[in-house]
Chain A
Amino acid sequence: MAERYISLEAIARSYPNPAGGGSTTVFQDLWLTLPRGTFTCIIGHSGCGKTTVLNILAGLDRPSAGEVVVDGTAIDGPSLDRAVIFQSHALLPWKTVIGNVAYAVRSKWPRWSNAEVLAHARKFIALVGLSGAEDKKPAHLSGGMKQRVGIARALSLEPKILLMDEPFSALDALTRGTLQDEVRKICQETGQTVLMITHDVDEAIYLADRVVLMTNGPGAVIAEIVENTLPMQRDRHDIHRHPAYYPVRNHIIDFLVTRSKNFDVERTALEAAGMPWNARQPRLVRPGIPEPTLAPSVPTLAQRTATQ
């Protein structure tokens, strides 16, 4: 955590009310650091502003306050250093598969010759397993293949960070599984830094090193960061047999079902217990690993149901 490769520093986003008078704050004073080579997922309910966080990091939206720092420089708008994989794949339908990837490559390296551009594009099309489909138009591809092209296009930029906005949510379960496997493999091999937005708890547990839990908006905050205690070598078929799997999963689901709504109450309880919640350094939780230094200031699920 010492290295601040990418950091969001006190960012806020508010929209003026359409009826006039005042504004709605989606989130404010949000701090998050992403160390190099880590895979981070943001999870939270719809409307908590997680897509806004990603868009600000991509440069497609601007924070009302605060800064985003990438590799020591504050960002100002979009950049080829930060590649985005869009939920709706966003391929250009009039270009072929290789045309779509080559368009990105040519944008990043405008001085390259045609042959260099195409060779680079082919390499990444092969990486996502689409060799042979280079000359097809997106309309002739399945949903999964389209998203593979989107992934190839983003990876071909060799970005500092890969930003994914629910990239697999529009796919069927089988395709989603295969693509998750491939993304995980590629990211591990290349040491890619990734930030992903998701609704899917199992997807987050399988892919992420850290899961950022956001409370409900408006006025959303990062409640805590869950460190994934599962080993780096994971197999999606028996990940659920690992002893750390259910503690992590239960912790996240417990948060989404109950705690994300009433985090204010919890915050007051934490302050009363002398461990105030700190926006700059949300608590790091390691479910399944006992933490002797921390008193159980937050009531566990069992305790809460017992009191009800």
Chain B
Amino acid sequence: MIASERVRALALSGLILAGFLALWHVGVQPDAPTGPALDPEYAKLVGAAAATGSQTPMPGPLDVGAKLWQHIADPFYVRGTNDMGLGIQLGYSIARVLAGYLLAAAVAIPLGFAIGMSPLLYRSLDPFIQILKPISPLAWMPLALYTIKDSSTSSIFVIFICSIWPMLINTAFGVASVRREWLNVALTLEVKPLRRALTIILPAAAPTILTGMRISIGIAWLVIVAAEMLVGGTGIGYFVWNQWNNLSITDIITAILLIGLVGMLLDQALARLAAAVTYPE
């Protein structure tokens, strides 16, 4: 029953995809050429679309498919600073996200632990967290560029600042809401504070902490594209912006697909980790 439902869902997904691709394909078919025939020399010189005075045509699914295949077949080429393979661009973005994210985790988890254990610390830091949390991470960018003076490090800082809040708040919440009875067990067993933190509070709060980490990685991946559009140079965000300047819509759509794919993989990795530390009650 369950297996058959899975098969049916898969079939429906395929049907939706096929329907979407078909509509797309039909929708982008060019109108029949009107007006006087072009001088082929002129058309070649300015590009076919410009010669007729129309826009760059929207690529169809077949064009995008061909482009995707081309990128996958040769992901790591370097033909100059503005022309590198998608694999390299994605690599830059992932490296920045991981650097900023891991730095944020290294700060947020210990700090969240302290905030969760100490009501005094919670009350004193809460106003700062409440004000800093809703700030769009990109608003920090000029300040980062001004102080750090390096565009790549600035993007890492922006990732750091956007991924710190969900981890900090979830860690503090998870630690503060460890069940009283488990803490009582630690008390009656005369467990020392450090051992209590590592053997009772950490495993008890781990699922909540991992939820925060999962939210953070999602936000970090959203923000890196925008950050790289701003600072330029390398990365998948820069690639998208550069292809917009090149008016290569095919490349943009290909990059959008890959951004989604990488985001999904990052989320799945954290979901696996969360499942590993979740305990049934």
A positions within 8 Å CB-CB of B: 58-60, 77-80, 82-84, 86, 88, 90, 92-94, 103-104, 107-108, 137-139, 157
Q: Determine if B187 and A59 form an interchain contact, defined as CB atoms under 8 angstroms apart.
A: yes
Q: Determine if A103 and B190 form an interchain contact, defined as CB atoms under 8 angstroms apart.
A: no
Interface-centre pick from A82, A88, A93 (highest chain B CB count, 10 A): A93
Query: Which A residues touch B185, using CB under 8 A?
Result: 86, 90, 92
Query: Which A residues touch B204, using CB under 8 A?
Result: 92, 94
Q: Determine if A86 and B184 form an interchain contact, defined as CB atoms under 8 angstroms apart.
A: yes
Q: Is B42 an interface residue (CB 8 A)?
A: no
Q: Is B189 an interface residue (CB 8 A)?
A: yes
Q: What class of interface size applies to chain B in its complex with A? A: 10 to 19
Interface-centre pick from B181, B185, B190, B280 (highest chain A CB count, 10 A): B185
CA distance A90 to B183 in the complex (A): 9
Q: Determine if A94 and B187 form an interchain contact, defined as CB atoms under 8 angstroms apart.
A: no
Other-chain contact of A83, B187, B188, B279 (Cβ < 8 Å): B188
What is the minimal beta-carbon distance from B115 to any residue of chain A, in angstroms?
23
11 contacts between A and B (CB under 8 A): A58-B188, A60-B184, A60-B187, A80-B189, A82-B188, A88-B181, A90-B184, A103-B189, A107-B191, A137-B279, A157-B189
Q: Determine if A139 and B280 form an interchain contact, defined as CB atoms under 8 angstroms apart.
A: yes
CA distance A94 to B200 in the complex (A): 9
Q: A92-B200, A93-B279, A94-B203 are in contact. Are A78 and B181 (CB under 8 A)?
A: no
- Interface membership of chain B positions 181-214, coded 1 if the CB is closer than 8 angstroms to chain A and 0 otherwise: 1101101111100000001100110000000000
CA distance A79 to B203 in the complex (A): 23
What is the minimal beta-carbon distance from A54 to any residue of chain B, in angstroms?
12
Interface-centre pick from A80, A82, A90, A138 (highest chain B CB count, 10 A): A90
Query: Which A residues touch B281, using CB under 8 A?
Result: 93, 138-139
Q: Determine if B184 and A84 form an interchain contact, defined as CB atoms under 8 angstroms apart.
A: yes
Other-chain contact of A90, B181, B191, B280 (Cβ < 8 Å): B181
Q: A93-B279, A94-B203, A139-B280 are in contact. Are A78 and B190 (CB under 8 A)?
A: yes
CA distance A78 to B189 in the complex (A): 8
When A and B form their complex, which 3 residue pairs have the shortest distance between CB atoms, in order from nearest? A139-B280, A90-B181, A107-B189
CA distance A104 to B188 in the complex (A): 9
* In the complex, chain B residues 19-66 whose Cβ is within 8 Å of any chain A Cβ: none
- Interface membership of chain B positions 127-153, coded 1 if the CB is closer than 8 angstroms to chain A and 0 otherwise: 000000000000000000000000000
Query: Which A residues touch B184, using CB under 8 A?
Result: 60, 84, 86, 90
Query: Which B residues touch A137, using CB under 8 A?
Result: 279-280
CA distance A108 to B188 in the complex (A): 10
